[in-house]
Amino acid sequence: MVDTINSNTSVRSFEHLNSYECGEISALLKEGKSIRYIARKLGRSPSTISREIKRGTTLQLKSDLSTFTSYFPETGQAVYEKHRS
């Protein structure tokens, strides 16, 4: 008898972004680099980078009470941990 696996899906090996990569995303965004550029530089999918930026972007308040949005790696990690629990 021959054992066969009835699956056409390859084995996936996903890894979370580490803190260094999140810091790189932050620095490259501040330089005005595109999501695709950042993805190529880190060897990740553009959708991974996009999701991380979306997860870590928060609305900030300036001293003159105007607002702006900015990406913070710590916020992205906190949101990730909140969703995992």
CB 77 within 8 A of CB 20: no
Which domains are delineated in the chain?
19-83 (1.10.10)
Q: Is the pLDDT of residue 10 over 80?
A: no
Tell me the pLDDT tens digit for each residue of 43-84: 999 999 999 999 999 999 999 999 999 999 999 888 888 888
Roughly what angle, to the nearest 10 degrees, separates helices 73-84 and 46-56? Answer: 90
Residue 21 has pLDDT above 90, yes or no: yes
How much is the mean pLDDT over the chain?
A: 87
In this predicted structure, what is the pLDDT of residue 16?
Answer: 84
| Distances from the Cα of 32 to the Cα of 29, 35, 67, 74, 80, angstroms | 5, 10, 19, 20, 25
Task: Place 13 in a pLDDT band, splitting at 50, 70 and 90.
Answer: low
How many angstroms separate the CA atoms of 3 and 21, rounded? Answer: 42
How would residue 32 be classed by pLDDT, with cut points 50, 70 and 90? very high
